[in-house]
Structure 1
Amino acid sequence: MEVFYYMVFGGLGVLVAALELSKSNKDRINTSSAFNSFKNNYLLVYSLMMAGDWLQGPYVYFLYSHYGFGKGDIGQLFIAGFGSSMLFGTIVGSLADKQGRKRACVTYCITYILSCITKHSPQYKVLMVGRVLGGIATSLLFSAFESWLVAEHNKRGFEQQWLSITFSKAIFLGNGLVAIVSGLFGNLLVDSFSLGPVSPFDAAACFLAIGMAVILSSWGENYGDPSESKDLLTQFKGAATAIASDEKIALLGAIQSLFEGSMYTFVFLWTPALSPNDEEIPHGFIFATFMLASMLGSSLASRLMAHSSPRVESYMQIVFIVSSAALLLPIITSFLVAPSKVKGGGISLSGCLQLLGFCTFEACVGIFWPSIMKMRSQYIPEEARSTIMNFFRIPLNIFVCIVLYNVDAFPITVMFGMCSIFLFVASLLQRRLLVISDKPKTENRALRERDPETEPLNI
């Protein structure tokens, strides 16, 4: 393995450690012991859930190819997963608001465990069922747990600002440390112990079962709108009305879809971008490096959110612009650096530059997750939180399905350019969100100046 990879990984590790160790009391929020107990319980569950997800990720494609399926068949399996998340995930997410978020989290565990079990079969139809179940589970992972957390946090009367602590820690652990450890553990099972490509899925099922046991024994139930008179169609209409009638919610949904669509496209593109001539690159080590960069971003986000200024709506504009510039690097390097014509070998100079840019993008991903969670907790109404969050994922899943279906139709530079444009548009929408979120404060201030006894507007 080339020294360059160690240098990047080591440099990111030093930055993460320095950022965490240099935090002063001003960068930390004083909380209560009751909140700390609640937070640690949630972080334990969230980490187990993410371990169950991360253990599978690196081996899904490998397992399908191990069973003898070609690129086209594998692509259809992936499309089925995203399509399932779009169609069925929205319905299941709405049931979470009505039937209970705790039940939805348990449903996630059961559904994903069943998906893992299907991986033991080499039959295409069985694997397709597994992808459908996995798509449903993914929708629940990214809606039900956050909805339960926000509702339970508010029900227990904790300070609103304390939510940012849980969000940033969840991303730091779940999307950073747990991802790295899961990748190494999966590699240990498959390569060192020679247990085969299905072994990470069995391990994932075990972690999910442990997490489900913790949920059942320690979590209380909470609901969005438990009204018996509202069927699913009425819930969908209510969620659509909330999005259409509140510009802040609509902007938040558009921003999330643009960023996550670019992020999932990046997941498919980074390997061919770094090895256009079949260069030998350490995929597992690069993945761990990306996750370390994400940890750096989440650590930075926790420091930013501990202060009242700058606001999330403000600094996220910069994050989107930086991420847009980072994904332009493959295009820039294609013009500035002469492409290598040698097949195989180590990573090229162009690849080294792109790897640094991709690490910058992953750091932006680490900032994005806790920040978007905080904005969702502020703007999305509680009674339809899971429903609206799954509505946000509909355009995302459509976009990813289109990209997967046409992944060979466009040059890789065109795909990166499209992602860069999307991220720049997200920065413009973020600017608009900042402006309209400031309006109530400006109007209240103007009213108080005219009449000091005027009550603040509740907008």
Structure 2
Amino acid sequence: MEVTEVGEEANRGDRLGFGLRCCSLGSSSPWLYRTAGIFPEQGTEEKKTGLYFGVATQASKSQRSRCHGRAASKARPGGATAAAYGRPFLTYPRCPEFHARVGEGGRTGWGRRGPTMLVTAYLAFVGLLASCLGLELSRCRAKPPGRACSNPSFLRFQLDFYQVYFLALAADWLQAPYLYKLYQHYYFLEGQIAILYVCGLASTVLFGLVASSLVDWLGRKNSCVLFSLTYSLCCLTKLSQDYFVLLVGRALGGLSTALLFSAFEAWYIHEHVERHDFPAEWIPATFARAAFWNHVLAVVAGVTAEAVASWIGLGPVAPFVAAIPLLALAGALALRNWGENYDRQRAFSRTCAGGLRCLLSDRRVLLLGTIQALFESVIFIFVFLWTPVLDPHGAPLGIVFSSFMAASLLGSSLYRIATSKRYHLQPMHLLSLAVLIVVFSLFMLTFSTSPGQESPVESFIAFLLIELACGLYFPSMSFLRRKVIPETEQAGVLNWFRVPLHLLACLGLLVLHDSDRKTGTRNMFSICSAVMVMALLAVVGLFTVVRHDAELRVPSPTEEPYAPEL
């Protein structure tokens, strides 16, 4: 639903979180139009479909006046209205029933928070952060200084890379806590928001397939600058309430994500080996440190997003506006400090064909791909669902997000401790544990999200357990992929891994798109539980195949280059 203001009083009221509003017929709620008498419950599927995707029919003057009531008579000259854009509009007075149906967790409820979830979120955040700091400090004291850290020229090169890379990561994380909230703030239905997420996932998988070839052709530095431009445009689209503009923004976000996770690392590796001739053994140390600070940036970004969304006065669009200067600075530093490098373009068809052959010829690779597709598709659905589950109960979204990332960081620290010489657990064991934790958490969520019996604190705990499992899962999966998949075939195999992963995630979101709001969330968690049971069976199958494989064991303490994900 597009929302505009009526007159000067309403414009003042918007800053306080209330006021009379005009609702454009473009991309609005069919429920609202039924209440206005624009179309009845039955026999209007074609009109509802048109409204659902932002195409509205012209309402008659009598139909509009029925919804205007006395509110329209209070409009003053100078107020922004949808008519200024050549669109029909209707207004509604401040109505508790309307706000309960449309404004749940959205603009009408902005700033109202229940004490239980508020206190729980802050306590969990402080507790998780203290645990992470304790583990990391003890690890740093026990770790001997490395040879790479004493080389001044390497440290300068590392700093040039980190300056740009960390700004890009910070801008990416800053947007994560309030993406769903922003769409809800614009009064889009959950089904409409699901379509936006599906568009983003589809864009990510399509651009991800060709990202390596695009980066090789365009140049690594140019690709990083292109990332800054496209992601800035993506953030700017969030200022619009037009559904199709937001769809374009999601497509740009998919391209930006593909560039973020391909161009920066490719530039660094080429410069490290080819231009500066540093030892290749130092590369994992650089990305291990980047992974740790990536977690830290994610935690800080959640707190920052909460602060700017609450204090600046722009509401949930504020973190997206705040991300633009970071992206601009990242692009400017890359242009000034980085040199350009290219690589030989690889045939996309040959890469995919080689990856498919490797996937089908090695049962270990096939099982590993099955686990990744099932596990990470559930994580994508979790990313979509956590906001509508917790936000109606007054959870501070930025602090909740920071708690999630602190839980993920805690899981990563536990992974390093578990695989150390003292405990000597193997990544295969920790992968099994991660899947078990997610299965248990999803069963918790099927009960804590029952309609009429919601328990937001239990749901929050379950979400934290899922993030803790992610902290165990990603380094374990990274280790196993590197050992099982030949280096020359990794790009092609990972492309094939991504296809079922994103298809399953899109399918889950489309199921939500067609389901009832109250029962759909619980049903989706039930489906995700079944999917994770299948992933657990695949883990058992992989464990049976590789239990005597010495290659998949960690012989000594190691740090894996991995990155945290939601």
2:186 corresponds, among 58, 61, 67, to: 67
Q: How does 1:20-419 map to 2 (within 5 A)?
A: 20-23=136-139, 27-28=143-144, 30-32=146-148, 33=151, 34-97=153-216, 99-150=218-269, 152-153=271-272, 155=274, 156-160=277-281, 162-174=282-294, 176-220=295-339, 226=344, 231-245=347-361, 249-271=365-387, 279-303=393-417, 310=424, 314-331=426-443, 341=452, 348=455, 351-376=456-481, 386=491, 388-407=493-512, 408=515, 411-419=523-531
Deviation at 1:381, TM superposition (A): 5.5
What amino acid sits opposite 2:532 in the alignment?
S
DSSP-derived class of the 1:411 partner: helix
Deviation at 1:309, TM superposition (A): 8.2
1:428 corresponds, among 519, 540, 562, to: 540
Q: What are the Cα deviations for residues 403-451 of structure 1, in whole angstroms up to 9, with x where unaligned?
A: 110123561441341343254245336536755863699xxxxxxxxxx
Structure 1 residues 414 and 212, CA, compared in 2 at 3 Å: closer, same or farther? same
Which moved further from structure 2: 389-398 or 162-171?
162-171
Deviation at 1:135, TM superposition (A): 1.4
DSSP-derived class of the 1:23 partner: helix
Structure 1 residues 257 and 9, CA, compared in 2 at 3 Å: closer, same or farther? same
Structure 1 residues 273 and 331, CA, compared in 2 at 3 Å: closer, same or farther? farther
CA distance in 1, matches of 2:437, 2:159: 36
What amino acid sits opposite 2:129 in the alignment?
G
Q: What are the Cα deviations for residues 73-93 of structure 1, in whole angstroms up to 9, with x where unaligned?
A: 222221111111222331233
CA distance in 2, matches of 1:136, 1:338: 34
% identical aligned pairs: 34
CA distance in 1, matches of 2:144, 2:177: 35
Q: What are the Cα deviations for residues 224-243 of structure 1, in whole angstroms up to 9, with x where unaligned?
A: 6x15xx54333433443444
Deviation at 1:306, TM superposition (A): 7.0
CA distance in 1, matches of 2:356, 2:341: 22
CA distance in 2, matches of 1:236, 1:106: 27
DSSP-derived class of the 1:396 partner: helix
Deviation at 1:101, TM superposition (A): 4.0
Aligned length: 425
CA distance in 1, matches of 2:403, 2:409: 10
TM-score by length of 2: 0.64
What amino acid sits opposite 1:136 in the alignment?
L
The question of whether the paired residues in 2 share the 8 Å contact of 1:297 and 1:363 is answered with yes
Structure 1 residues 136 and 306, CA, compared in 2 at 3 Å: closer, same or farther? farther
Structure 1 residues 67 and 8, CA, compared in 2 at 3 Å: closer, same or farther? closer
CA distance in 2, matches of 1:40, 1:372: 28
Structure 1 residues 110 and 381, CA, compared in 2 at 3 Å: closer, same or farther? farther
The question of whether the paired residues in 2 share the 8 Å contact of 1:97 and 1:385 is answered with no
Q: Which protein shows a greater Rg?
A: 2
Deviation at 1:290, TM superposition (A): 1.1
Structure 1 residues 436 and 219, CA, compared in 2 at 3 Å: closer, same or farther? farther
Q: How does 1:436-455 map to 2 (within 5 A)?
A: 438=550
Q: 2:134 is matched with which residue?
A: 18
Which moved further from structure 2: 67-76 or 32-41?
32-41
Structure 1 residues 236 and 41, CA, compared in 2 at 3 Å: closer, same or farther? same
CA distance in 1, matches of 2:371, 2:144: 28
The question of whether the paired residues in 2 share the 8 Å contact of 1:255 and 1:429 is answered with no
The question of whether the paired residues in 2 share the 8 Å contact of 1:82 and 1:397 is answered with yes
DSSP-derived class of the 1:55 partner: helix
TM-score by length of 1: 0.77
Structure 1 residues 386 and 439, CA, compared in 2 at 3 Å: closer, same or farther? closer
Q: What are the Cα deviations for residues 248-303 of structure 1, in whole angstroms up to 9, with x where unaligned?
A: 5545443432332122122233356568xx54433332222111111222333455
Higher helix proportion (structure 1 or 2): 1
Structure 1 residues 257 and 214, CA, compared in 2 at 3 Å: closer, same or farther? farther
The question of whether the paired residues in 1 share the 8 Å contact of 2:177 and 2:401 is answered with no
The question of whether the paired residues in 2 share the 8 Å contact of 1:331 and 1:416 is answered with no
What amino acid sits opposite 1:31 in the alignment?
R
Structure 1 residues 317 and 106, CA, compared in 2 at 3 Å: closer, same or farther? farther
Q: What are the Cα deviations for residues 295-330 of structure 1, in whole angstroms up to 9, with x where unaligned?
A: 22233345567769847xx22432442442344245
DSSP-derived class of the 1:122 partner: coil
Q: 1:447 is matched with which residue?
A: none
CA distance in 1, matches of 2:389, 2:330: 37
Structure 1 residues 287 and 213, CA, compared in 2 at 3 Å: closer, same or farther? same
CA distance in 2, matches of 1:75, 1:31: 49
CA distance in 2, matches of 1:12, 1:322: 18
What amino acid sits opposite 2:130 in the alignment?
V
Deviation at 1:68, TM superposition (A): 3.9
DSSP-derived class of the 2:404 partner: helix
Q: Which runs of 5+ in 1 are unaligned?
A: 442-459
Deviation at 1:54, TM superposition (A): 1.7
Structure 1 residues 392 and 217, CA, compared in 2 at 3 Å: closer, same or farther? farther
Structure 1 residues 317 and 333, CA, compared in 2 at 3 Å: closer, same or farther? same
Structure 1 residues 383 and 112, CA, compared in 2 at 3 Å: closer, same or farther? farther
